[in-house]
Structures are given as structure tokens and as C-alpha cells.
Amino acid sequence: AQTVTQSQPEMSVQEAETVTLSCTYDTSESNYYLFWYKQPPSRQMILVIRQEAYKQQNATENRFSVNFQKAAKSFSLKISDSQLGDTAMYFCAFTRPANNNDMRFGAGTRLTVKP
């Protein structure tokens, strides 16, 4: 079974500081993709960042970066210079081309950025 684990149900961070959300996954596939999605109160899923498993270089999108450790099956998200608008649920997700690219999600981490 392919699983995604987020071990931090809730986290908080002071505005302008840095926070790291953890995610581990389990798969026997060699070709797969990893994502972090943000779900604000509107509940619209917003892609934050993605990482192709075959790429060794960690993905970066402005204030968001990942630490992808393939051997350890770890995919953490670092948010730098946290902003109040970053307050949301964050889901780690995994998809496999071999299975129609269906997406599996972790349980989520509720992040609160405090002023």
C-alpha cells in the first residue's frame, strides 16, 4: 500500500519566522511525484510546490522549499518568512504514473501563523 504520513497535526509559527512541516511516505515504486498543497478556509486546494522523484535537486518556490530525502522517503516543507496568509491546512501528497496518477494525501498539518 502507498501511504503518506504527516506526524504534526498542528503547528504554529511567529510571523516572519521559519517553520518546517514533515512528511514521510511509503512506496515500492521508483517513479512518482510528491506535492505540498495548501487548503485555506475556502477549502480550495492550492498547489504550493512539487518534486519529481527522479530529480535530486530540492524544489524551491519563492519562500517555500522542500527537503527531499529519497532514501529515507522523507519530504519536508520549509516556509521562510512566514506570513499571516500562510495560515491554512497543509497536505503532503503522492502520485504514481503507474496508477493513473491518482493522488494520495497525508492527514494534514494545521499551520497557524501568529502576528
Partner 1 sequence: GAVVSQHPSWVICKSGTSVKIECRSLDFQATTMFWYRQFPKQSLMLMATSNEGSKATYEQGVEKDKFLINHASLTLSTLTVTSAHPEDSSFYICSAPRTAFSYEQYFGPGTRLTVT
Candidates 17-25, 63-71, 78-86, 99-107 — which segment interacts with partner 1 by CB under 8 A?
Answer: 99-107
* Integer Cα distance of 91 and 22 in angstroms: 10
DSSP H helices, the chain, are none
- Pick the piece of the chain touching partner 1 (CB under 8 A) from 17-25, 55-63, 69-77, 98-106: 98-106
Q: Single out the segment in contact with partner 1 by CB under 8 A; choices: 17-25, 45-53, 60-68, 76-84.
A: 45-53
Q: What is the x/- site pattern for partner 1, positions 18-37, by CB under 8 A?
A: ---------------x----
15: cell is 510571523
Indicate the residue among 73 and 110 with the shorter CB distance to partner 1: 110
Instruction: Specify the length of the chain in residues.
Output: 115
Interface mask (CB under 8 A) for partner 1, residues 63-92, using x and -? ----------------------------x-
Note whether 73 and 27 are within 8 A (CB): yes
Alpha-carbon distance values, 85 to 15, 19, 31, 41, 76 (Å) = 10, 14, 33, 11, 20
State how far the Cα of 2 lies from the Cα of 19, in Å rounded to an integer. 27
Which residues would be at the binding site for partner 1 (CB under 8 A)?
A: 33, 42-45, 47, 50, 91, 95, 97, 100-108
